[in-house]
Amino acid sequence: MQEFRNIAVIAHVDHGKTTLVDELLKQSGTYSAHQKVEERAMDSNDLEKERGITILSKNTAIRYKETKINIIDTPGHADFGGEVERVLKMVDGVLLLVDAQEGVMPQTKFVVKKALSLGLCPIIVVNKIDKPAADPDRVIDEVFDLLVALGANEQQLEFPIIYAAARDGYAKYSMDDENKNLEPLFETIIKHVPAPSGKAENPLQLQVFTLDYDNYVGKIGIARIFNGTIKKNETVMLAKADGEQVRGRVSKLIGFHGLDRIDINEAESGDIVAVAGFETLDVGDSLVDPANPMPLDPLHIEEPTLSVVFGVNDSPFAGLEGKYVTSNKLAERLESEMKTNIAMKYESEGEGKFKVSGRGELQITILAENMRREGFEFSLGRPEVIIKEENGVKMEPYEHLVIDVPDEFTGAVIEKLGRKKAEMKAMNPTGDGQTRIEFEIPARGLIGFRGQFLTDTKGEGVMNHSFLEFRPLSGEVEHRKNGALISMETGTAMGYSLFSLQERGILFIDVQVKVYAGMIIGEHSRPNDLDVNPIKGKPQSNVRSSGADEAIKLVPPRKMNLELALEWIENDELVEVTPTNIRIRKKYLDPTVRKRMSR
């Protein structure tokens, strides 16, 4: 009978979860001597590597002495809160990582609240103790206060504490210890995380918490076995959330060891495995013993708060840069995304438009970025919050916003947020010239705020937010103040004309960029939109050629990436996304149609 421990690593963004899991893998001897391993090995897709964030929760398993420890690395961003919530139902303990300098952050609150409500006892890991401004004692007090505020019970408040520097691969029981490896952490996990409660001799109960897809075997459910044993080729009953029950055969059973997936023939209660053979499998479904079916309660999944319309690209440059441009291809791709990503939903709106709903801008832009890299060409509308009706009252989502700003910028930031219907809840100086301010703000007030915020704080501000609740709709929220500079010609942008246009506002394009009529090439310095001609060259006269003159000096343009563009646009504008370019345009390219529609 094997010993198991199932733990999840939870923390705020960038507090070192994935790095810690890396070190646990290395020091447990999971990798063979000749295996070459990258940094942050758990972040497997390109976007995760580039941005240094975890997007999908992933699981791995290590052996320490006689025990198999299943570890789930979770995302830190609130947009992926649905992932974290499901994962916590599958484990018996959590490692709560807190940065020794930053302390408790909004997402720390968010994930701890979920863990405590499930009755999990946290092990506190104070990470990055090698930072110059680290203050572990203050951080532990903050964690304690947070647990008390969230209503933790006595057992949860007697948490074990480990001090660590995951990047350097050591952990210790107290700050004075001289220790060079992670052994104290392994020992604490074995001692404080309870062993799984199920028994191998009971009837089978297994619940799926994440989906994967394989072109050969179809849908794969990653699941935890709560009771009983499961064998390859065995007939079991799939119990769905709506009460439907289907018999089926386990065509493939996969176990985890380090970063590898291994085909296995049998697994027992307490382990985490992947199962294939059921095409209708969904997150939260149970596999049970057909002779004695006892399904587990389905999982609650948080509902989306934001939607964006994906549409077919109909600009003059459509089909020149992408491989997939038709609405059928777009629908197929969104359909396959929904197979594995259950926190998102999509519905067709006709005329090649699809409304995709998710937990936040980041989640939707990551889907768009992945599609763009696969060769898709499409347009995106302005993000809108999802408003629902309860007892005849319209409700909108509110967010809990925490910002850290240098003291001299606090006034400007508070004023801007005031106009966006934000309510200040707390303001504390954190020392070192910074202030931490907490707000409650309607989610639509945050759309387009990040770019403004970075400008106001000269790039030094840090903002984090997490979903709070639905509240009655508040009044109008202020939008973008400035109009757009719109090209009225199709052709190639010339330095001569851009030079005279840069006095009118901030340009988004460089010299020699192809533009079309109705494309937005910059932000106007005034509130109205302005039609301009960026392709006019310098006229030739009988005195000099058109090229000979003083050198033109252009201000570098503002480069718009996907997130910035999506935050910047208004309701009558679209972002055109192709594998090589991101352009911003008006919905109606013809200026006369535009005027008629604006009335």
Environment class of 575 (CB within 10 Å of its CB; exposed 0-12, middle 13-18, buried 19+) = buried
Is 341 annotated as contributing to ligand binding? no
Is 77 annotated as contributing to ligand binding? no
Q: CA angle at residue 199 from 193 to 205, to 5 degrees?
A: 100
What DSSP assignment string belongs to 434-502? EEEEEEEEEHHHHTTHHHHHHHHTTT--EEEEEEEEEEE--S------S-EEEE-S-EE--HHHHHHHG
Query: Residue 491: how many CB atoms within 10 A of its CB?
Result: 15
Is 43 annotated as contributing to ligand binding? no
Is 14 annotated as contributing to ligand binding? yes
What DSSP assignment string belongs to 90-116? T-SEEEEEEETTT-S-HHHHHHHHHHH
Token pair for 481: 């103040």
**Beta-sheet pairing, 161-165 with 122-127:** parallel
Is 137 annotated as contributing to ligand binding? no
Token pair for 201: 């001799």
Is 15 annotated as contributing to ligand binding? yes
Is 289 annotated as contributing to ligand binding? no
Token pair for 378: 């499409």
**Beta-sheet pairing, 353-358 with 235-239:** unpaired
Query: Residue 596: how many CB atoms within 10 A of its CB?
Result: 10
Q: Is the distance from CB of 307 to CB of 383 less than 8 angstroms?
A: yes
Contacts of 262 (CB under 8 A, 6+ apart): 254, 255, 256
Q: How many CA atoms lie within 13 A of 562 on its CB side?
A: 21
Is 528 annotated as contributing to ligand binding? no
- Cα distance between residue 536 and residue 534, in whole Å: 6
Query: Residue 235: how many CB atoms within 10 A of its CB?
Result: 12
- Cα distance between residue 273 and residue 244, in whole Å: 23
Binding-site residues for GTP = 14-19, 127-130
Binding-site residues = 14-19, 127-130
